[in-house]
Amino acid sequence: MTHQPGPATPADFTVDTDAVLARLTAYRGHDAPTHGGRVLSYVYDSGLAALDELAARAAREVQAVNGLDPTTFPSVALMEGDLVAFGRCILHGPDAVGSVTSGGTESCLLAVKAARDTWRERHPGSTARPRIVLPQTAHAAFHKAAHYLDLDVDVFPVDPTTGTLPAGDLTRRLDEATALVVVSAPAYPHGVVDPVADVAGAAQEAGVPCHVDACVGGLVLPFWEAAGGGPVPPWDFRVPGVSSISADLHKYGYAPKGSSLLLFADRGLDRARYFALTGWPGYPVVNPTVLGSRSATSLAAAWAVTTALGEQGYVALTRRLVAATAAVRACVDGIVGLRVLGDPVGSLVAVVADEDVPEAEQVDPHLWAGAVQRRGFVLQGQPALTQSDGTGIPRSTHLTVTPVTAGLIDELTEALAGGAEDVRGQAGAGSGGGPDAAGGGVVGSAGLPDPAELARAAREDGELDLTAVLALIETLPREVSARMLVDFMAEFTEPRVESP
């Protein structure tokens, strides 16, 4: 009989750590740089290497901890309690309660769940469908939450030239079916702070919860004025009617992905975000977040970073943000053919073509982003959009300024100005048809690329024509382009080699 070897034991099994890490390093070679200030979206670089090392060491300390049960792992509750206390302080909610989540999307989803469940309690037996009322510029996470949780979404247009929300018009939409109204501080696309006080006050009168999405601004705006950035419109728990706030620790909190704070002014609303079950034979289940078992690594990293920085550290980093953002805005103001959209508060800037100058002097923002990337800096293109009232939000390019930007400001502004010269007077792809062209087009013809083909080409040669992707989004009906982008994204995760 042939002997069958038994299972591997520690004595006869070794791990080739060098080979594994070498492969990971090779994979990472395909990534945009996460440090150094050359990517002005997605990454939030404090410029402090010691802070990154502290976060890594804290994460390693709790690598085996399961955040599912803080009674077994009390460190989870202790760190989360410290972060909630920090949030109470900077967001001026001395009695606020809440939790740390895996990121802004989960925070927003839980805020929507809490509002939906509370609405159902107030309307027992109702056959109406609850809905969320929000501005056009509210984050996609709320649409995702409504999709997952089966709510309607009532999207209200903003001023296309300034990005501002007409509060009075929006608040007239609040009615018995409204489960939640959402405002942003600031809205990601253009960096504009919504009129939180006006909306929250009206929501309070109507008995509707008001969520402030401060995922991107929640750890900037509290320190902006003290750092010399000028006044900030009221937006936090000091505003009557604000019922919940989301603030991401992995953005301007400078913690690794993914961690976010979700705080509620009302304990009853807070309890509605939980899921609990005792009607099965296993252990009692009570989940404060969407996840059950969850890593404590990002929680520990966020706790370590915020504990080390404190309010004084955040003010110091925000001073660098203020200076760098002012320099970027001054640079754009000096470029013929471009302008900053609206009057952003904080460190986000959206740049659009200046249509007040002759066409030959205008700069298409998407072509500009491509030209700036060739000069060493990655910006983020945003497609044009036709709103429900027929007004068009123009195509733009988004810049997320971080503290490390301050050390590269001369090189960056030279690239911004030089990139504009490179493409001045050129028409961007799709710019002639206007956003959401009626009837759309046919992919693969009439100049419209197949998104899956674009993805395959990017995988093969490492170059992705994002301008073409944005033009496709602008030209096709949005529901069509959304379906096609699923194929686009799925193409990137198809296995490149046979699985071992």
| pLDDT, averaged across the chain | 90
The answer to whether the beta carbons of residues 137 and 192 sit under 8 Å apart is: yes
Which stretches within 123-255 are classed as H helix? 140-149, 167-171, 196-206, 221-224
Q: Which of 119-128, 178-187, 306-315, 410-419 has the lowest mean pLDDT?
A: 119-128
How confident is the model over 59-86, as a mean pLDDT? 93
Q: What is the mean pLDDT of residues 79-87?
A: 97
pLDDT digits (tens, 9 = 90+) for 207-241: 999 999 999 999 999 999 999 999 999 999 999 99
Q: Are 232 and 345 within 8 A, CB to CB?
A: yes
Query: What's the whole-number mean pLDDT along residues 463-482?
Result: 79
pLDDT over threshold 90, residue 133: yes
Q: How confident is the model at residue 462 (pLDDT cuts 50, 70, 90)?
A: low
Average pLDDT over residues 317-343: 97
pLDDT band at 434 (very low <50, low <70, confident <90, very high): very low
Is pLDDT at 494 greater than 90 in this prediction? Answer: no
64 has a pLDDT exceeding 50: yes
Whether 300 shows a pLDDT value over 90: the answer reads yes
Within 13 A of 293's CA, how many CA atoms are on the CB side?
Answer: 5
Domains of the chain: 56-308 (3.40.640.10), 311-493 (3.90.1150.10)
Distance CA 404, CA 411 (A): 12
Report the C-alpha gap between 254 and 45 in whole angstroms: 7
Residue type, 423: V
Tokens 């202790």, residue located: 78
The average pLDDT across 109-119 equals 97
Q: What is the mean pLDDT of residues 109-120?
A: 97
Q: What is the pLDDT of residues 159-170, one digit of tens each?
A: 999 999 999 999
**What's the confidence (pLDDT) of residue 115?**
97
| Predicted confidence (pLDDT) at residue 369 exceeds the cutoff of 90 | yes
Judged by average pLDDT, the poorest of 106-110, 363-367, 449-453 is 449-453
| pLDDT over 50 at 117, yes or no | yes
Residue 499: pLDDT over 50: no
List the one residue out of 360, 351, 357, 356 whose CA is nearest residue 330. 351
For the ranges 129-138, 341-350, 425-434, the lowest mean pLDDT is seen at 425-434
- In this prediction, what percent of the chain has a pLDDT beyond 90? 76
Q: What is the pLDDT of residues 7-43, one digit of tens each?
A: 555 667 788 889 999 999 998 988 889 899 999 999 9
What is the pTM for the complete model shown? 0.91
- Report DSSP state, residue 218: T
Residue 4: pLDDT band (50, 70, 90) is low
278-306: burial string, b at 16+ Cβ within 10 Å, e else: eeeeeeeeeebbbeeebbbbbbbbbbbbb
pLDDT at 13: 76
Confidence check: pLDDT of 343 > 80: yes
Please classify residue 225 by burial: count the beta carbons closer than 10 Å to its beta carbon, then call 0-12 exposed, 13-18 middle and 19+ buried.
middle
CA distance between the termini of the chain: 29
Residues 236-267: pLDDT tens digits?
Answer: 999 999 999 999 999 999 999 999 999 999 99
Residue for token pair 């301050």? 406
pLDDT tens readout for residues 436-459: 433 344 444 445 667 667 666 666
Tell me the angle at which helices 297-333 and 49-61 cross, rounded to the nearest 10 degrees. Answer: 160
